[in-house]
Copies of this chain bind each other. A is one copy, B any other.
Amino acid sequence: MTRTSAEHPRVAVSTVIFSLRAGDERPAVVLPLVRRTRDPHEGLWALPGGWLGESENLEAAASRTLAETTGLAPSYLEQLYAFGDVDRSPTRVVSIVYWALVREDVSGRLAPENVAWFDAASLPRLAFDHNQIVEYALWRLRNKVGYSRIAHGLLPAEFTLAELREVYEAILGRRLDPANFRRQVDSSGTLIPTTRFRTGNHRPARLYHYNQDVELAERGPLHR
Minimum CB–CB distance for A209 against chain B, Å: 28
Measured between beta carbons, the chain B residues less than 8 angstroms from A139 are 220-221
- In the complex, the chain B residue whose C-beta lies closest to that of A133 is B222
**Copies of this chain in the oligomer:** 2
Count contacts on A: residues with CB < 8 A to the other chain.
34
Closest to A61 in B: B84
- Residues of B close to A4: CB separation below 8 A: 1, 4-5
- A37: min CB distance to chain B, Å: 23
Contact A52-B10, Cβ < 8 Å, known A81-B79, A82-B82, A220-B136: no
| Shortest Cβ-Cβ A-B pairs, 9 listed | A58-B84, A82-B82, A139-B220, A4-B4, A82-B96, A9-B11, A11-B94, A139-B221, A135-B221
| Distance in angstroms between the alpha carbons of A77 and B132 in the assembled complex | 20
Q: Which residues of A contact B (CB under 8 A)?
A: 1, 4-11, 52, 54-58, 79, 81-82, 84-86, 92, 94, 96, 132, 135-136, 139-140, 143, 218, 220-222
Question: Besides A8-B11, A81-B222, 16 other CB < 8 A contacts?
Answer: A8-B10, A9-B11, A9-B54, A11-B11, A11-B94, A52-B94, A57-B84, A57-B85, A58-B85, A82-B96, A94-B94, A94-B96, A135-B221, A139-B220, A139-B221, A140-B220
Tell whether, in the assembled complex, residue B56 and residue A86 are in contact, meaning their CB atoms are under 8 Å apart.
yes
